[in-house]
Amino acid sequence: MNVEDRVRELIAPILTDLDVELFDVELNGGRLLVTVDSEKGLDTGTLYLTTRAISRELDQTDPVPGTYTLEVSSPGLERKLRRPVHWQKSIGSDVTVKVRQDFHDERRLTGRIVSAGMDSAVIALAGADGDASELTIPYEVVQKAKTIFEWGPTPKKGGKNSNKKKTAASKNASTKNASEKPAGKKKNPSNEMDEPALLGADATPDSSNSKDADAS
């Protein structure tokens, strides 16, 4: 059993108690990235508690040799596909896949997952003429793969109502005495103070060294 599988085995019961799903464990050099998810969504409070629980377990069991940094986050909108279960949960999603050079003429493929098993996945590739052709991709030839999130069109600023408001404001402004001077803006000291930054949904407290991160 490798380190990633060992960590996965140790923390899975803890995440179940927290009503959080383990998405992936990835050890890359001195960085241990634990990705978690939840059907109810994840907020910074849940990620904080999850990080503390995982950190305690890893401190006690010490499954990772050497010094490393523990990071806990949510998968985000575009998710890495590293295990068969990732492909299976992403059926119907658009993906981009980088394959080995000896597998296909094009190393980067884009399409939609039609089906996924334990050894391979089938994706529908969009051709230049708009017709889709299906391709079976064994996981062993995949070097990188992730889902693609399509952003919607940017909404137009303003509308009919905003135009009416501008017209009404212009009429009111024209009725003012031409000799009347607009009052100058006063500086508000409170407006010049920076507000504290809020943590994003994917951000977690940094456990810079999981062996002494949050030992309390």
**Residues 70-91, mean pLDDT to the nearest whole number:** 90
Any alpha helices (H) in 21-128, and if so which ranges?
44-61, 84-89
- Of 92, 94, 97, residue with least CA distance to 107: 97
Between helix 44-61 and helix 3-17 the angle, nearest 10°, is 130
What CATH number matches the domain at 3-73, 3.30.300.70, 3.40.50.720, 3.90.1300.10, 3.90.1150.10?
A: 3.30.300.70
Is the model more confident about 37 or about 206? 37
Which pLDDT tens digit goes with each residue over 87-117?
A: 998 999 999 999 999 998 899 999 999 999 9
Domain ranges of the chain: 3-73, 84-147
Q: What fold, for 84-147?
A: SH3 type barrels. (2.30.30)
Helices and strands in the chain: count of H runs, count of E runs: 4, 8
Q: Return phi, psi of residue 112, to 5°.
A: -120, 135
Q: Which residue has the higher pLDDT, 52 or 168?
A: 52
What pTM, to 2 d.p., does this model score? Answer: 0.59
Q: Is 39 or 190 the better-scoring residue by pLDDT?
A: 39
Predicted confidence (pLDDT) per residue in 40-63, tens digit: 888 899 999 999 999 999 999 999
